[in-house]
Structures are given as C-alpha cells and as structure tokens.
Amino acid sequence: MAGKPKLHYFNGRGRMEAIRWILAAAGVEFEEIFIKTPEDLDKLRNEGSLMFQQVPMVEIDGMKLVQTRAILNYIATKYNLYGKDMKERALIDMYTEGVVDLGEMIMHLPLCPPDQKDAKMTQIKESVTNRYLPAFEKVLKGHGQDYLVGSKLSKADIHLVELLYYVEELDPSLLANFPLLKALRTRVSNLPAVKKFLQPGSPRKPPMDEKNLEEAKKIFRM
C-alpha cells in the first residue's frame, strides 16, 4: 500500500496551499515536511529531489513531482476531479487559469512595497469585482448547475472556493453581488472532507503575516 503523499514546503500558504486544498477535498491524508532553513532547501537540491531547484515538491506514488500545475493535475486525475472528457478538462483548465491569475495577484500582495500597497489593493479589488468574479458568476448562472463543469465537483471548483476565501479575507463586501459564487462556496465547504479541512487544527494555513513573510524570505534568500 502506498504511503501518504509527502509535501515539501515552508510552513505557509504560498504555492503549496492549493495542493493542500485539493488533497484535502479528495479525502487524502498527507504528511508535511517543512523547510525551515536555507540549508533544508539546499539539501533537497543537492540530493537531486528538485528537478528545477525549486519547491513545492510532492512525493506521491513513487515520484517526486515539482511544478504546481503538474502536481495539481496529477492529483485531480488520480481522484477523478478533472472532468470526464477532453472538453470538460479544457473548461476546467480555463477556469483554473483564471483563478490562478487572480490568486497570484493576491499572493504577491504581502511582497508589495508599502508605498505601493494601497494602489495594488485597489487594482486587485477592481479585478475581483469587475473582471474575474463576474465571469465565474456568469458560468454558474448560464448552466444552472451546482458546479462549474459537468454538474460534478472538479479541481476548478476547489481552486475557486479557495480563492473566494482569500477574497473574503481582503474585504468580505467584495462577494456581496455574487450570490451563486457564495452558494458554491457554501456547497463545497459543507462537503465532509472540505469541512474537516476548514476546522481549526487542520493543515490549512493562515494568511501570511510579517513573521511568516520574513521566514520565507530567509529560506528562499529573497
């Protein structure tokens, strides 16, 4: 029997959080091996565990996978969260890439120089309310189904719901005009495996604070 997937990353959200989310939604228990120092990262590099010298890295099914999208796609395929055919996968990929675009903006906000942060926040809020969330709301309204693609939970739903939580952390009012997205978040959040992940004490990581940011900068020599 294969062991639990092993996740190699620092103890923060970053690019590993979407992987934690999709494993949790699939009901898969995993082990986290935290990178705490630059030397920990060097060790992984020197032993040949990181194909492109970077994390996240996930040990799963005898492989050491890197590159976030590759990891997510493998997990989604393995646990039937990637549609039933090529057309559904294309839609799932398209929606996921939209989530990633907005998610990257939010993820990089803590790295923004203080004198640029207000302008960056304004830009993000504009993108949330006028570009990305209206597009996803329109998808759900257009087909009237419970999930984004094929009336079945997919990685696109999981990634979008993760993003909605981040949007709410920025400003809860940003979700006010998107009832179908709020309903999707509730629907996915109430799935037993996801509900467990959302409880205190789970592997889900909190928003990045100054201490977390400094730790990441030290590890990755930023």
Here the CATH number for the domain that contains residue 29 is 3.40.30.10
Spatial CA neighbour of 12 closest among 131, 135, 110: 110
For residue 1, pLDDT over 50 is answered with no
Tell me the C-alpha distance between 188 and 184, whole Å: 6
Tell me the C-alpha distance between 119 and 115, whole Å: 8
Mean pLDDT of 1-6: 82
Give the structural domain span for 28: 6-79+197-220
Task: Write down the pLDDT at residue 2.
Answer: 66
Residue 1: inside a domain: no
Domain match, 45 and 64 both = yes
Q: How many CB atoms lie within 10 A of CB 72?
A: 26
Residue 32: inside a domain: yes
pLDDT range class, residue 33, cuts 50, 70, 90: very high
Residues in the chain: 222
Domain match, 205 and 171 both = no
| Terminal-to-terminal C-alpha distance of the chain | 40
Domain match, 113 and 177 both = yes
Residue 137: inside a domain: yes
For residue 35, pLDDT over 60 is answered with yes
Domain match, 66 and 146 both = no
Domain match, 128 and 207 both = no
pTM, to two decimals: 0.95
For residue 187, pLDDT over 70 is answered with yes
Mean pLDDT of 60-80: 97
Helix (H) or strand (E) holding 57: strand 57-60
Task: Write down the pLDDT at residue 221.
Answer: 86
CA atoms within 13 A on the CB side of 149: 24
On average, the pLDDT of the chain sits at 96
